[in-house]
Structure 1
Amino acid sequence: MIKTRFLSNLLLSFIWVAITGAFSAENFIFGFMLSFILLWIISVNRSENKYFTRGPKIIYFIFFFLYELVKANIEVAYDVITPKHYMKPGIVKIPLTAKTDLEITLLANLISLTPGTLSLDVSDDRKVLYVHAMYVQDREQFILGIKNGFEKKLLEIIR
C-alpha cells in the first residue's frame, strides 16, 4: 500500500510538472507536496495508511539529522580553533531498543556520521551499542540524547 501511494504521488508530481511546463526541482517538490495533500484528502482510511504518517516523520527526521550534524560540526570546529580543548572523550555503553540488523546498522551509521562520535561495536546479544564520543560531560545525558534523539526517531520511521 505504501509503494502504490508513493508511486501515485510521484506520478501526480510528474503530471504537475508537465502541465505547468516548468521543469525545475522547486516545481517538482511543490507538485509532490500538492499531490501528497490531495492523496491524503481523498484517502478513505488515513489512520491505517502508514504513507501519510511516515512521510512527515521522514522529513522531520532529515531536518533533525541536519540540525544535529551542523551542531556537532560547530562544536568540533570551535574546539579545534580555540587554544583550550573542551574535549572529554569516553566510550559509552548505550542500551538498544533497536532489534533488527537494519535498525542497529542505521543507528550506528547515523551516530558515526555525526562528527565527534563513532560507533565502535555491538554486543553479541545485540542489546548494547558501544560509542566513542569526544564530548561526554554526563554519560546519562549522552545516552538519553541518543535514545530520545536518533534511536527513537529512527524507530518511528522504520517500524
Structure 2
Amino acid sequence: MIKTRFLSNLLLSLIWIAITGTFSFENFLFGFVLSFFLLWLTATNRRENKYFNRVPKLFAFVFFFLYELIKANIEVAYDVVTPRHFMKPGIVKIPLDAKTDLEITLLANLISLTPGTLSLDVSDDKKVLYVHGMYVNDKAEFIANIKNGFEKRLLDILR
C-alpha cells in the first residue's frame, strides 16, 4: 500500500510538472506536496495508511539531520579556530533499539556523517553500538541525545 501511494504521489507530481511546463526542483517539490495533500484528502482510512504518517516524519527527519549537521560543524569549527580546545573525547557504548541490519547501518552512518562523532563497531549480538565522540562531557547525556534524536526518529520512519 505504501508503494502504491508513493508511486501515485510521484506520478501526480510529474503530471503537475508537465502541466505547468516548469522543470525545476522547486516545482517538483511543490507538486509533490500538493499531490500528497490531494491523496490525503481523498484517502478513506488515513490513520491506518502508513504512507501519510511516514512522509511528514521523513521531511521532519531531514530538517532535524540538517540542524544537527550544522550545529556539529559550528561546534567543531569553533574548537579548531579557538586557541583553547573544548573537546573531551571518549568512546561510548550505546544500547540499541534498532534490530535489523538496515536500521543499525542507517543509524551508524548518520552518526558518522555528523562531525565530531564516529561509529566504531556493533557488538556481535547487535545490541550495542560503539561510538567515538569528540565532546563527551556527560556520557548519559551523549547517549540520550543519540537515542532520543537519531535513533528514535529513524525508527519512527522505518517501522
Residue 144 of structure 1: CA displacement?
0.3
Q: Distance in 2 between the 1:136 and 1:23 partners?
A: 46
Matched to 2:32, the amino acid is: F
Q: Which residue of 2 aligns with 1:97?
A: 97
1:125 aligns with 2:134: no
Q: Which residue of 2 aligns with 1:66?
A: 66
Matched to 1:18, the amino acid is: A
- Runs (4+) off by over 2 Å: none
1:12 aligns with 2:12: yes
Q: Which residue of 2 aligns with 1:23?
A: 23
Q: Which residue of 1 aligns with 2:148?
A: 148
Unaligned runs of 5+ in 2: none
SS at match of 2:124: coil
Q: Distance in 1 between the 2:111 and 2:101 partners?
A: 15
Matched to 2:71, the amino acid is: K
When structure 1 is superposed on structure 2, of 24-33 and 63-72 the one drifting more is 24-33
**Cα deviation digits, residues 3-39 of structure 1 (max 9, x gap):** 1111111111111111112222211111111110000
Q: Distance in 1 between the 2:21 and 2:91 partners?
A: 55
When structure 1 is superposed on structure 2, of 20-29 and 113-122 the one drifting more is 20-29
State the aligned residue count: 159
Percent identity over the alignment is 79
Q: Which residue of 1 aligns with 2:55?
A: 55
Unaligned runs of 5+ in 1: none
Q: Which residue of 2 aligns with 1:88?
A: 88
Q: Distance in 2 between the 1:15 and 1:44 partners?
A: 23
CA-atom RMSD, angstroms?
0.7
1:38 aligns with 2:38: yes
Normalising by structure 1, what TM-score? 0.98
Q: Distance in 1 between the 2:15 and 2:149 partners?
A: 37
Residue 154 of structure 1: CA displacement?
0.3
Residue 81 of structure 1: CA displacement?
0.5
